Amino acid sequence: MDAFLLSLESGFIEVRNPFDARSIRRVSLSPADVDCIVFWTRDPRPLLANFNRLGPFRDRFFVHVTVTGYPRALEPAVLHAGAAVEAVRALASVVGRARIAWRYDPVIVAQGLEADFHRANFARLADALGDSVSRVVVSLLDEYAPTRKRLEAAGFADPRFGSPRHGRHDATAKDEMPPMRTSRAARRLAEPPEPWAGLLCDLAAHAKERGLPIGACAEPFDLAPLGIEAAPCIDGDSLAGIFGFSPPPPRDKGQRSLCRCSPSVDIGSYGTCPAACVYCYARR
């Protein structure tokens, strides 16, 4: 947050390409050039503590807050779920629930994190957060190079992946799960195999009970029959309605094919998060 505020005062931020360290892009942070800022965080307390230093962007930011309540073996340095819930409530009391989304993301199904754990865990968090957030976003665990090894080393064997690497079938569901495809048609694949189908249906039902719209981020499966729509994380139409700017094009063509986010510029950097989550693709 301190680094971001310094950039905000400068009126620009320089973003290094994660695949080419020599390539640096200067991004304007001038209020004239920025419709709004979308934050992702595990800990909204610095955002609230520095609210007045955001200047004109105090009224022009949206925030995704990830609260999973997973064991410390998976998330060793994440803010405790109870403290995160209190922080979300405090932020909502200042900016309102319309500008906050809760992410239960990723949904990790493995030994020690079976479906019943998620049913109880999600219900508890939804009850605590329901009055302070506008919606909930879920996604299934994607497999990156070290993900399976890290999860098993942390004591969570046999993880299930929504998007296996290189289009492989999930080793635990190879007869049920279709290979990954990268075309936009992949959005309409059949619903996922068990235990995901029943689990996601139950999560959607509980979200509905709490009055929370529930959407899925970049999933290859058609989750609509389970009560979960494919949804953008950066929803240009919704943000335009909140902040009063003209709606942007509906989809950022520079993103992966399953992504429905509106055009935006990512000013984050890999390797800066202290949370050290075992499953995180950005850990280097």
- pLDDT tens per residue across span 243-284: 999 988 878 888 888 888 999 999 988 888 888 899 998 876
Whether 169 is in a domain gets the answer yes
**Segments forming the whole domain that contains residue 121:** 31-227
Determine contact, residues 110/158, Cβ cutoff 8 Å.
yes
Q: End-to-end distance of the chain based on CA atoms, in angstroms?
A: 21
Q: 241 and 229 in contact (C-beta within 8 Å)?
A: no
What's the pLDDT at 152? 95
| Distance in angstroms (rounded) separating the CA atoms of residues 50 and 248 | 29
Asked whether residue 18 is assigned to any structural domain, the reply reads no
Q: How many domains does the chain have?
A: 1
Is the Cα dihedral 146, 148, 150, 151 positive or negative?
positive
User: For the domain that residue 46 is a member of, what is the CATH number?
Assistant: 3.80.30
In a domain, residue 170? The reply is yes
Nearest by Cα to 3 from 65, 68, 55, 50 = 50
Task: Give domain status of residue 3, yes or no.
Answer: no
pLDDT for residue 49? 97
Which pLDDT score, from 0 to 100, does residue 45 have? 97
Note the pLDDT of residue 269: 85
pLDDT (0 to 100) of residue 184: 43
Residue 40: inside a domain = yes
What is the pLDDT, as a whole number, of residue 283?
77
- Of 199, 43, 230, which Cα lies nearest the Cα of 107? 199
Domain assignment present for 20: no
pTM for this prediction:
0.90
Query: What pLDDT does residue 167 have?
Result: 55
Give pLDDT, residue 256.
Answer: 82
24 located within any domain: no
Name the stretches of the chain with pLDDT < 50.
168-187
Q: How would you label 191-206 residue by residue, b for 16+ Cβ within 10 Å and e otherwise?
A: bbbeebbebbebbbeb
pLDDT at 164: 75
> What is the pairing mode between strands 229-230 and 214-216?
parallel
Residue 17 lies in a domain: no
Task: List CB contacts of 23: < 8 A, sequence separation 6 or more.
Answer: 16, 17
In order of 66, 79, 119, 210, the CA distances from 85 in angstroms are 10, 10, 18, 16
Helix (H, G, I), strand (E, B) or coil at 78: coil
Residue with tokens 């994607």: 142
Residues 39 and 16: their CA atoms lie apart, in Å, by 18
